[in-house]
Amino acid sequence: MAQTIPVVIGVVVISFLLTRALPGDPAVYFAGDAADAASIQQVREALGLDKSMPQQFLIYVGDLLRGDLGQSLSSGQPVLTDLTYRLPASLELTLVALGLSCLIAIPLGVLAATRPGTWVDHLCRVLVTAGVSLPTFFTGVVLIYFFYYLTGWAPAPLGRLDFIYIEPDRVTGFYLIDSLLAGDIETFLGALKQLILPSITLALFTMAPIARMTRSAMISALSSDYIRTVRAAGLSRTTILRTYAFRNALLPVITTLGMVFSFSLGANVLVERVFAWPGIGSYAVDALVASDYAAVQGFVLAMALLFVFVNLLIDLLYSVVDPRIGFADNE
Amino acid sequence: MVDLLTIKNLAVDFQTRNGTVNAVRDVSVCVKRSQKIGIVGESGSGKSVSAFAIMRLLDSGGKVTAGEVSYNGIDLRRCSEKEMRDIRGRDISMVFQNPRAALNPIRTVGKQLVDVLHQHSLASRQNARHKAIEALAAVKINDPKSCFSRYPFELSGGMCQRVVIALALACNPRLLIADEPTTGLDITTQRSVMELIDELITARQMSAIFITHDLALAAQYCDHIIVMKDGEIVESGEPESLFGSPQHAYTKKLVSATPRPGVELRDLLPPTLSGEPLAKMSVVVPSNKPLLEVKELSKEFNTKGSAFVAVNKLSFTIHENESVGLVGESGCGKSTTSSMLMRLLDSTSGQVIFNGSDLFNTGLREFSKDKRRASLQMIFQDAGESLNPRHNAATLIREPLSHLTNLSRKEIKTRILELADLVGLPHSLLSRFPHQLSGGQMARVGIARAIAVNPRLLILDEPTAALDVSIQAVVLNLLADLRHQLQISYLFVSHDLRVIDLMCDRVLVMRGGEIVEQGGVNQILNDPQHPYTKELLAAAPAPPVKNDSVEKFRQEESDLLALNTVGF
Amino acid sequence: MSSDLGTASVVATPTQPASYQSQSTLAHIIYVLRDNPVTLIAFIMLSVLVVCALFGHWIAPYDPLATDSSSILQPPSSQHWFGTDNVGRDVFSRVLVATRLDLQISIMAVSLSFVIGATLGAIAGYWGGWIDIVLSRFLDTIMAFPLFVLAMGIVAALGNTVENIIYATAIINIPFYARLIRAEVNLRRDSGFAVAAKLSGNSDLRVLVQHIFPNTLPPVMVQVSLNLGWAILNAAGLSFIGLGVRPPTPEWGIMVAEGANFIVSGEWWMAVFPGLALMFAVFTFNLLGDGLRDIVDPRKRK
């Protein structure tokens, strides 16, 4: 946990550098097309760009602490407002996808490890190799073709909710939760329908590393000496698998989950683009296309901080499962 | 006595990539009540496989193809998996090598015991904790209550093995199978663990099967010994008769290769095929001219603010042509000491005079260019690990020659062949990579490399600890011959006093970073002064010897050593 | 094991003719390919890619940039194997020609990150101390960003060009190499053969470069080949969202992006064929890993 603070500082420094490495003169940019030299200078002073780099950095940090990520050119809103408004859409998609992929990948990995050489094992291996080769944006496109264009089972890939439904009152920003809170089952189902294809797309991408890690962690746990000890002591297969093998195999799987979360935050950008999902990923892409750099940098920083936070959670979870942590924290 | 376990004509096959391997063939064993049987063999002899076959715990790929295993009238090969589970732990249980790995690292010791008690319905929810603590107390763990809630990583290796034993004995089984129960433990820990197992088995009138590579250990604790080789039983009998008059050629070799009081190095080797006597071992008389003088050498390590003294004010001398033994258990500072003497590690304080000049006057980094680099060489414990896996044997031996000598390419080539001859490495093996060589061959490459540049002092760091006993005998003889031929001084680091006895003129006994006792090998082995030395000597398993000639040998040897140590 | 016992006579061994040539590298490669059919398939797939990359321009039946208003959005046929796109360009030719650019980006990015990452990792792993601490913190920081997102940020900051895609991809891959090699070097720093190399008169630098580093290669090769796949995915992903490569340059990511607009109206071939090409390439590199490792691992030699 002591490692989190330097990482946060590093993240802030890198995102500052990215901001200041913007192509061209931001002052010219922000002043607009019709600006003359004087007004550009004015903008430059207003932005603090005439100050030295360390000073600029302090101003940047100060702004961050006040929650000021700058103004978005395209929406005209503060970037922070935009991000907080759109974040739940992305999180809803990411979390549902991760949940889905854990639900499939972990049991699959366990089954493959306990039945080496059977069809489950082969399926797992095929899925793992094919899964990492799938470009998410391509999977999304193919799924749309099959399930929307050919069969019509899925709704049009146009955002979180079909226009025939009314958006639920915003409490958490998660449509699934908000619609339930409002007691509106129809909207809930509508939101769920929209969510199915994008979350499957994302889940297909994240399943491979989780299944692979579960399988190999289970195999190494099952071939370890302590499993032999309890087998020789006559423990039942269920106890051995659950209490001895699976709990030990969980440790590397938890670590992988952190990495997979990071991957899916990246892949999210592409999936949101394919499904016109109004999350922060598509926000960032729109901002990129519109050269709205404050929005892009705000997005990058927000993603990094989110991931740092998730890692912190994972460390906590890890120390709950593994008693050795804390003892050997100098490793 | 009634038979508790009978194995008849057991055969086990393993399916491997290279086809079927007959790991065990036609093995018949009979364990009577309250009998302790030792199964002895070198690596790959099928001794552990037999034990796993009894328990039906073979890895996938292993299969019992023939034979009968019956325990107390139950046919173990034919009972259901469920019946087998009830037998495991409750009737027959096992103790394994490497106790730390044998326990679940993320479950408390107590819970692991409770799991086993629950499985065999020997504890209710209420009394499980109490029973588990009782089981821990039975294996003489201090403060079993606090041990109950500890994790394996919080316990020492010896303690872990006690927990594993508690786990095995918790359900009062009738038969214990111990597979190399003390391999990898320090010799004094080994003794206390073996004594504990022996005591518990005797008290509970259990039967036991000890599986070990150490003939002397088996002889000390077992009533009956079975010797296995290549999956077959070659001989069995009482320890005394086995040692006194081994019948099978392999047993003879094994017995003779086991270092024991009263034998010489040459006695470890089997007689040559032609029956000719081996060239007699030449006597090396150490000079009284000091080669290496260590004065008040200390090393402290600073980790997280706290200083740890690994070596504390060490002082000793090694004379020219002398072989000095360094004995101690893990963590006593012997590796740190040898690293400092090899100039691989800086000391915190103290002085080392090598051949008249201060060793520390050249910096650690510059020492690779120092003239004395060639004079100080080393032979490693794990020969395999000390050989770069990307280099073949010739390249490995060439390495010091090309950096530390001015020989031409052609001269180097000749020298490599010469060295191969010297260590008995066939030239055809020079093109092989380490993984294509056997343990003994790798040891020879390591030795050839170390002596290539004519060192004055050779540190031998447990050079035979990883080798089977018969190969150890060959390597020890080779080392002794080389010392004579090349006039090198040895610092022989080992935990095995019997080996030290064979190889050294003088011994240093180390503990906790300090030398607790030093003296002539004869004096230390026969008349130790320090209690720790006495403890070490007592812990070394002593094979039963009923041979008259031994006393004579012993006498001769003492005389010889007395002569040799005059200079000291 | 037991063969030692035969040579128990300590002193003399019959002198044999000196013939210590090792198995040639080529023979070893052939052995590895024969031993594992998956590796053989992977190498065949790789050679297909390499041929497309080198000779794609000549093989292509049409000019990948030539539009043809008379044949717009035609489904696959004997004339246009992969169909035509919305401005009448031949999809097959475009997919073929795109191979070179995609492979170039990934190979250059991976080489760059391998060189930088390996150097940093080897130094940190061997000498440790403050260099190690600083490097580890720096890598932690880079890894704290979701990598695709960081790549977006870098391309946004440096400018929207193909070179910058390469740099961005290289930067996000550096931590993998640096960490892996740091760990592998650290593991071997005090190993017997490293100490033996020092005793043989090698300086620290030589021990690191000539003895330790080559031994870290087998696991690193697996990483290299996986990374080549990721790098292609990454570059294609960036161009999919409109960064780096610009239309009308043929590139798989852009082609999928362009085709995606037509998928909802059923013109599947525009997106599917470049997507399959992308998968084929990534799949090839994923399969290649174990084979590459076996080739650089001397222990796999017979």
Q: Which of B87, B90, B151 sits opposite A323 (nearest CB)?
A: B151
H helix runs in A115-184, sequence order? 119-133, 136-144, 175-181
The stretch B514-537 carries a mean pLDDT of: 91
| Residue pairs between chains A and B whose CB atoms are closer than 8 Å | 82
pLDDT over threshold 60, residue B555: no
Nearest to B373 by CA among B452, B482, B304, B441: B452
Q: C158-175 burial by CB neighbour count: b if 16+ within 10 A, else e?
A: bebebebbbbbbbbbbbb
- Are C199 and B478 in contact (CB < 8 Å)? no
What's residue A230's pLDDT? Answer: 92
Tokens of B463: 């050079």
What's residue B202's pLDDT? Answer: 93
Closest residue of chain C to A266, computed from CA coordinates: C148
Q: Provide the residue range defining the domain that includes C62.
A: 18-300
Least confident of A159-173, B190-204, C43-57: A159-173
pLDDT over threshold 80, residue B268: yes
Torsions phi, psi of B141, nearest 5? -90, 130
Strand order in the sheet with B306-319: B306-319, B290-303, B349-354, B357-358
Which residues in chain A have Cβ-Cβ distances shorter than 8 Å to C149? 265-266, 269, 284, 299-300, 303-304
Q: Which of B382, B400, B428 sits opposite C201 (nearest CB)?
A: B400
Nearest to B456 by CA among B289, B226, B331: B289
**What is d(CA B329, CA B313) in angstroms, rounded to the nearest whole number?**
18
pLDDT digits (tens, 9 = 90+) for C224-258: 888 888 899 988 999 888 887 888 888 999 999 88
What's residue A27's pLDDT? Answer: 65
- Are C1 and B44 in contact (CB < 8 Å)? yes
DSSP readout, chain C?
Answer: -THHHHT--SS---------PPPPHHHHHHHHHHH-HHHHHHHHHHHHHHHHHHHHHHH-SS-TT---TTS-SPPP-SSSTT-B-TT--BHHHHHHHHHHHHHHHHHHHHHHHHHHHHHHHHHHHHH-HHHHHHHHHHHHHHHHS-HHHHHHHHHHHH-SSHHHHHHHHHHHHHHHHHHHHHHHHHHHHTSHHHHHHHHTT--HHHIIIIIIHHHHHHHHHHHHHHHHHHHHHHHHHHHHTT-SS-TTS--HHHHHHHHHHHHTTT-THHHHHHHHHHHHHHHHHHHHHHHHHHHH-GGG--
Burial of B474 (0-12, 13-18, 19+ CB in 10 A): buried
pLDDT category of residue A47 using cuts at 50, 70 and 90: low
**What is d(CA A135, CA A139) in angstroms, rounded to the nearest whole number?**
6
pLDDT category of residue A195 using cuts at 50, 70 and 90: very high
pLDDT over threshold 80, residue A209: yes
**What is d(CA B554, CA B548) in angstroms, rounded to the nearest whole number?**
10
pLDDT over threshold 60, residue A330: no
- Are B433 and C197 in contact (CB < 8 Å)? no
Q: Which of C137, C237, C242 sits opposite A137 (nearest CB)?
A: C237
Find the radius of gyration of the CA atoms of chain B: 26
pLDDT digits (tens, 9 = 90+) for A224-278: 999 999 999 999 989 999 999 999 999 889 988 988 988 888 889 999 999 999 9
Burial of B153 (0-12, 13-18, 19+ CB in 10 A): middle
How, if at all, do strands B506-511 and B323-327 pair?
parallel
| Residue pairs between chains B and C whose CB atoms are closer than 8 Å | 148
- Tell me what percent of the residues of chain B surpass a pLDDT of 70: 92
Residue with tokens 């979180």: A160
C36 touches chain B (CB under 8 A): no
Which residues in chain B have Cβ-Cβ distances shorter than 8 Å to C12? 421, 424
pLDDT over threshold 60, residue A147: yes
What's residue B293's pLDDT? Answer: 94
Domain boundaries, chain A: 4-65, 87-277+298-321
The stretch B189-206 carries a mean pLDDT of: 92
Find the radius of gyration of the CA atoms of chain C: 25
Q: Which of C15, C193, C198 sits opposite B421 (nearest CB)?
A: C15
- Are C138 and A10 in contact (CB < 8 Å)? yes
The DSSP H or E segment spanning A269 is: helix A247-274
Q: What are A246's strand-pairing partners?
A: none
C129 touches chain B (CB under 8 A): no
Q: Which of A21, A132, A284 sits opposite C286 (nearest CB)?
A: A132
Beta strands in B276-383 (DSSP E): 290-303, 306-319, 323-327, 349-354, 357-358, 376-379
What's residue B257's pLDDT? Answer: 87
Subunits in contact with chain A (3 or more CB pairs closer than 8 Å): B, C
pLDDT over threshold 80, residue B280: no
Instruction: Assign residue C267 the CATH number of its domain.
Output: 1.10.3720.10
Judge if the upstream peptide bond of residue B173 is cis by omega within 30 degrees of 0: no
Cβ-contact C284, A130 below 8 angstroms: no
The CATH code of the domain at A87-277+298-321 is: 1.10.3720.10
Does residue C37 lie within any of the structural domains?
Answer: yes
Which residues in chain C have Cβ-Cβ distances shorter than 8 Å to B342? 195, 199
Cβ-contact B544, B243 below 8 angstroms: yes
What's residue B559's pLDDT? Answer: 43
**What is d(CA B298, CA A22) in angstroms, rounded to the nearest whole number?**
58
DSSP B78: T
What's residue B252's pLDDT? Answer: 86
Tokens of C20: 């210590």
The stretch B29-48 carries a mean pLDDT of: 90
Q: What are B7's strand-pairing partners?
A: B29, B69
One-letter amino acid identity for C186?
N
pTM: 0.84
Torsions phi, psi of B457, nearest 5? -125, 130
**What is d(CA B126, CA B449) in angstroms, rounded to the nearest whole number?**
64
Which residues in chain C have Cβ-Cβ distances shorter than 8 Å to B385? 191-193
One-letter amino acid identity for A27?
A
Closest residue of chain B to A248, computed from CA coordinates: B106
Q: B36-47 burial by CB neighbour count: b if 16+ within 10 A, else e?
A: bbbbbbbebbbb
- Are A235 and B89 in contact (CB < 8 Å)? yes
Residues contacting B125, CB < 8 A, separation 6+ = none
| Residue pairs between chains A and C whose CB atoms are closer than 8 Å | 156
Least confident of A153-157, B30-34, C65-69: C65-69
- Are B89 and A323 in contact (CB < 8 Å)? no
Which residues in chain A have Cβ-Cβ distances shorter than 8 Å to C266? 145, 149
The DSSP H or E segment spanning B39 is: strand B36-40
Does residue C1 lie within any of the structural domains?
Answer: no
Does residue C280 lie within any of the structural domains?
Answer: yes
**What is d(CA A130, CA A115) in angstroms, rounded to the nearest whole number?**
21
- Are B116 and A234 in contact (CB < 8 Å)? yes
Cα B496 → chain centroid: 8
CA distance C25 to chain B (A): 12
Torsions phi, psi of A221, nearest 5? -65, -45
- Are B426 and C7 in contact (CB < 8 Å)? yes
Cβ-contact A168, A92 below 8 angstroms: no
Which residues in chain B have Cβ-Cβ distances shorter than 8 Å to C192? 380-382, 385-387
What's residue B382's pLDDT? Answer: 87
What's residue A30's pLDDT? Answer: 65
Which residues in chain A have Cβ-Cβ distances shorter than 8 Å to C95? none
Return residues 215-254 of B near C (CB < 8 Å). Answer: 253
- Are A229 and B167 in contact (CB < 8 Å)? yes
Cβ-contact A143, A195 below 8 angstroms: no
- Are C264 and A7 in contact (CB < 8 Å)? no
The stretch B104-128 carries a mean pLDDT of: 90
The stretch B469-485 carries a mean pLDDT of: 90
Q: What domains does chain B contain, in order, with CATH numbers?
A: 35-59+74-227+234-257 (3.40.50.300), 290-553 (3.40.50.300)
Q: Which has the higher per-residue pLDDT, B424 or A50? A: B424
**What is d(CA A142, CA B521) in angstroms, rounded to the nearest whole number?**
81
- Please tell me the total number of residues recorded for chain C in this structure: 302
C24 touches chain B (CB under 8 A): no
Count of structural domains, chain C: 1
CA distance B398 to chain C (A): 9
CA distance B464 to chain C (A): 14
Does residue C13 lie within any of the structural domains?
Answer: no
Least confident of A64-68, A229-233, B484-488: A64-68
**What is d(CA A75, CA A295) in angstroms, rounded to the nearest whole number?**
10
- Tell me what percent of the residues of chain A surpass a pLDDT of 70: 92
Successive 10-residue mean pLDDT values, chain C, 302 residues: 36 38 70 79 91 88 82 82 84 91 92 94 91 88 86 84 91 92 91 92 92 89 86 90 84 90 85 92 86 78 61
Does residue C5 lie within any of the structural domains?
Answer: no
- Are B389 and C298 in contact (CB < 8 Å)? yes
- Tell me what percent of the residues of chain A surpass a pLDDT of 90: 26
Nearest to C232 by CA among C293, C181, C277: C277
pLDDT category of residue B39 using cuts at 50, 70 and 90: very high
CA distance C71 to chain B (A): 57
- Are C193 and B474 in contact (CB < 8 Å)? no
pLDDT category of residue B562 using cuts at 50, 70 and 90: very low
Using CA atoms, how far residue C117 sits from B44, C93, C113, C162, in Å, is: 43, 36, 5, 21
**What is d(CA C302, CA C300) in angstroms, rounded to the nearest whole number?**
6
Tokens of A156: 């049009």
pLDDT category of residue A199 using cuts at 50, 70 and 90: very high
Which residues in chain C have Cβ-Cβ distances shorter than 8 Å to A297? 153, 156
Question: Percent helix, strand and coil across chain A, each rounded to 5?
Answer: 75, 0, 25
Q: Which of C141, C229, C242 sits opposite A14 (nearest CB)?
A: C141
One-letter amino acid identity for B7?
I
A126 touches chain C (CB under 8 A): no
Q: Which of B90, B103, B154 sits opposite A226 (nearest CB)?
A: B103
C272 touches chain A (CB under 8 A): yes
pLDDT over threshold 80, residue A142: yes
CA distance A172 to chain B (A): 37
Return residues 234-263 of C near A (CB < 8 Å). Answer: 236-237, 240-243, 253, 256-257, 259-260, 263
- Are C10 and B385 in contact (CB < 8 Å)? no
Q: Is residue B45 helix, strand or coil?
A: coil
Burial of C69 (0-12, 13-18, 19+ CB in 10 A): exposed
**What is d(CA B504, CA B515) in angstroms, rounded to the nearest whole number?**
17
Which residues in chain C have Cβ-Cβ distances shorter than 8 Å to B278? 9-10
B376 touches chain C (CB under 8 A): yes
Q: B296-316 burial by CB neighbour count: b if 16+ within 10 A, else e?
A: ebbbeeeeeeeeeebbbebeb
B303 touches chain C (CB under 8 A): no
